[in-house]
Amino acid sequence: MNESQPSPVSRREFVRGGLRVGAVAALGGLGGVMATRSSADDFLWQIDPQKCSQCGHCATDCVLETSAVKCVQNFSICGYCDLCTGYFEAEPIALNTGAENQLCPTGAIIRKFVEDPYFEYTIAEDLCIGCAKCVKGCALFGNGSFHLQIRHDRCVNCNECAISRACPSDAFRRVPRSKPNIERVIAH
Residues making contact with other proteins (CB under 8 A): 17, 20-21, 24-25, 27-29, 31-33, 35-37, 39-40, 50-56, 79-85, 90-91, 117, 136, 139-144, 159-161, 164-170, 186-188
Instruction: Give the Å distances, CA to CA, from 172 to 5, 18, 20, 57, 168.
Output: 58, 43, 42, 12, 10
Taking the C-alpha atoms of residue 52 and residue 33, their distance in angstroms, rounded to an integer, is 32
Looking at the Cβ atoms of 126 and 183, the one nearer to other proteins is 183
The secondary structure element, H or E, covering residue 43 is: strand 43-47
In the complex, the smallest distance separating the C-beta of residue 32 from other proteins, rounded to whole angstroms, is 3
In the complex, the smallest distance separating the C-beta of residue 74 from other proteins, rounded to whole angstroms, is 12
- Which of 70, 50, 60 is CA-nearest to residue 162? 60
In the complex, the smallest distance separating the C-beta of residue 2 from other proteins, rounded to whole angstroms, is 18
Taking the C-alpha atoms of residue 154 and residue 124, their distance in angstroms, rounded to an integer, is 15
In the complex, the smallest distance separating the C-beta of residue 56 from other proteins, rounded to whole angstroms, is 5
Cα–Cα–Cα angle for 156, 63, 155, nearest 5°? 25
Tell me which amino acid residue 95 is. L
